Amino acid sequence: MSVLPGVTPRLAVLAIVYGGIAGLVAALTFTGMTALQSVVWDTGAQLFGTNTTLQIVTTILLGGALLIVLDRAAPSEDLQTLLRQSGDPAGLPRRAVLTTALAAIVAVAFGGAVGPEAGIVAVVAQLSTIVAHLIGEDVAMRRTIGEAGSAGALGGFYGSPPGAAAIDGDELGPRKILQLGAGFAGFFAFLAFMRLTPDTGGATITLPAVDLPYFDPWLIGIAVAAALAGLLFRGLHHVIDGAVSRIRRPWIVIGLGTVLFAALAALVPLVRFSGHHELHDLQVLTEAGDWSALLVVAVAKIAALTLCLVSGWRGGEFFPLVFIGAAIGGAVAVLVPGLEIGAAMATGMAATTAVGWKRPLAVLLILILLVDVPMAFPLLIGVGVAFLVNLLVSRGEGTSGGSDSEETEPGSPDSDDADGSRAAR
């Protein structure tokens, strides 16, 4: 008996139950990563006192050294590779998944300009390989286990089950229904655990409220500028990744990228971490009227994110791109009197993330639930402009001819080097 074509009650129950387990594991992993990050930086503050620059450089260099050691044990995988391989958890290389989880935990703990998604997904993937080996009687069950694990983990972390299900494409079908069910189960499990640990906090984004419905023509300009920032990230990532791919010794790539990132973080400390908690600092700069600092931070964050991704600092792009777009929106809000700060930042973060991540629908579904105040219209403007920009760019690539037109952009579901995997091999 089948509820839908290809979806049996057995698979549906499996997806929901395992999605909930994955959400709980994601919450435990995220809490552990956050706690370790606090320990690392609090210890550094005690050791270095008021010398913040020395603390930043030393901590990041130590993180890079640990990443080199882990890479010597086994090359790690990027987030996109883990998501693509989730359909075959039994075939995942366990050693590589383990080193990916450890590398992602190190990246978050030592201040990498990346999100914690890679570590969360890697830990769940490691669990999926074990569960698939124990109860995966056939291909359909093993695939359900792998995909439900990723959907449950990201559905909980992003706070958006539909957004997690849309990450690998927006085509509806039996697999998508199972992923959606797993995403909801993971979301509720993640939320329940986070409410038991209020000091950790989830991934909610807090912005100044705006009057509804709110529209200002300047929001379109913000969306265009923020979308261009997303394109800058994609282009810079492509160029640097192509350059470092010629270096045959991974430790050189990790070491060089770490040194450059440490120097950049010493100059602009706000480029550290995923950018989620640092959104508050952007609001402070916006309210202070420091538009130039906001633009400097946005550009520096693009460089920091790119350096981390190509040099083996494993993590996700979502929250760093949100941070970049919010900085651009805040800068424009300072320059345009009367423009609502919340709407400007929401529009910017939606446009930059949708272009840089190349997933407009997933970005909209995630942000519309992640932002803790109603921001539907500004988010729609940002994602709408980003969709048009992505369409124009893809058409331009399709008509440019040559081998470059066939390459996938960094961050896309089909990219083999979305987070710099070629650089760290």
Cβ count within 10 A of residue 73: 13
- In this predicted structure, what is the pLDDT of residue 409? 40
Q: pLDDT tens for residues 13-22?
A: 999 999 999 9
* 62 token code pair: 């130590």
- The CB density around residue 116, as the number of other CB atoms within 10 Å, is 29
| Residue 407 clears pLDDT 90, i.e. is over it | no
Interval 135-162 mean pLDDT: 90
**What whole-number distance in Å separates Cα of residue 92 and Cα of residue 85?**
7
Lowest mean pLDDT among 73-77, 216-220, 359-363: 73-77
- Mutual angle of helices 376-400 and 360-370, in 10-degree steps: 160
Average pLDDT over residues 337-352: 94
* CB of 55 closer than 8 Å to CB of 47: yes
In order, the DSSP letters of 266-309 are HH-GGGSS-SSTTHHHHHHHHHTT-HHHHHHHHHHHHHHHHHHH
Closest CA to 79 of 111, 52, 101: 101
* CA-derived radius of gyration, the chain: 21
Average pLDDT value for residue range 314-323 = 95
Would you place residue 372 in the very low, low, confident or very high pLDDT band (cuts 50, 70, 90)?
confident
Q: Which of 95-109, 204-218, 367-381 is the least confident region?
A: 204-218
- Report the share of the chain in percent with pLDDT over 70: 88
* Three-class DSSP labels, 210-273: CCCCCCCCHHHHHHHHHHHHHHHHHHHHHHHHHHHCCCCCHHHHHHHHHHHHHHHHHHCHHHCC
Most confident of 87-101, 119-133, 187-201, 253-267: 253-267
Q: 402 in the Ramachandran plot: left (φ > 0), alpha (ψ -120 to 50) or beta?
A: left
Q: What is the pLDDT of residue 422?
A: 38
For the chain, the average pLDDT equals: 87
Which residue from 104, 153, 145 is spatially nearest to 128, judged by alpha carbons?
145
Q: For 111-131, what is each residue's pLDDT tens digit?
A: 999 999 999 999 999 899 889
Residue 416 has pLDDT above 70, yes or no: no
Right CATH for 218-406 from 3.90.25.10, 1.10.3080.10, 1.10.150.120, 3.40.190.10: 1.10.3080.10
d(CA 313, CA 67) in angstroms, rounded, equals 7
Cα distance between residue 412 and residue 317, in whole Å: 11
The pLDDT of residue 285: 95
| DSSP character string of 136-200 | --SHHHHHHHHHHHHHHHHHHHHT-HHHHHHTT----SHHHHHHHHHHHHHHHHHHHHHHH-TTT
Distance of CA 272 to the CA centre of its chain: 14
Does the structure show a pLDDT above 70 at 192? yes
Task: Quote the pLDDT of residue 418.
Answer: 41
Maximum CA extent, the chain = 67
Q: Does the pLDDT value for residue 402 go beyond 80?
A: no
- Confidence band, pLDDT 50/70/90 cuts, at residue 155: very high
Determine the average pLDDT of the residues in 312-332. 95
Weakest mean pLDDT among 247-251, 305-309, 383-387: 247-251
Q: Residue 406's pLDDT is what?
A: 39
Q: Which two tokens stand for residue 397?
A: 């690539």
Q: What is the pLDDT of residue 170?
A: 59
Q: Which of helix, strand or coil describes residue 49?
A: coil
CA of residue 179 relative to chain centroid, distance: 19
pLDDT band at 415 (very low <50, low <70, confident <90, very high): very low
> CA-to-CA distance for 6 and 139, rounded, in angstroms?
12
- pLDDT, residue 399, reads 66
pLDDT value for 90: 67
Q: What is the mean pLDDT of residues 240-268?
A: 94
Split at pLDDT 50, 70, 90, the class of 374 is confident
* Interatomic CA distance for residues 256 and 245, integer angstroms: 13
Give the position of tokens 């990027």. Answer: 78
Q: How far apart are CA 354 and CA 281, in angstroms?
A: 23
Cα(117)–Cα(153) distance, rounded to whole angstroms?
A: 9
CA distance 61 to 266: 12
What would the DSSP string read from start to end of 89-103? GGGS-HHHHHHHHHH
Residue with tokens 């209020």: 198
All CATH 1.10.3080.10 domain ranges of the chain, comma separated, are: 218-406
Question: How far from the centroid of its chain's Cα atoms is residue 327's Cα?
Answer: 17
Helix (H, G, I), strand (E, B) or coil at 371: strand
Confidence of residue 7 (pLDDT cuts 50, 70, 90): confident
Condensed to tens digits (0 to 9), the pLDDT of residues 272-301 reads 999 988 999 999 999 999 999 999 999 999
Q: Which of 73 and 417 is assigned the larger pLDDT?
A: 73
Residue 5 banded pLDDT, cuts 50, 70, 90: low
Asked if 124 and 153 touch (Cβ cutoff 8 Å), the reply is yes
Given a cut of 80, is residue 92 above it in pLDDT?
A: no
Q: Which residue has the higher pLDDT, 138 or 410?
A: 138
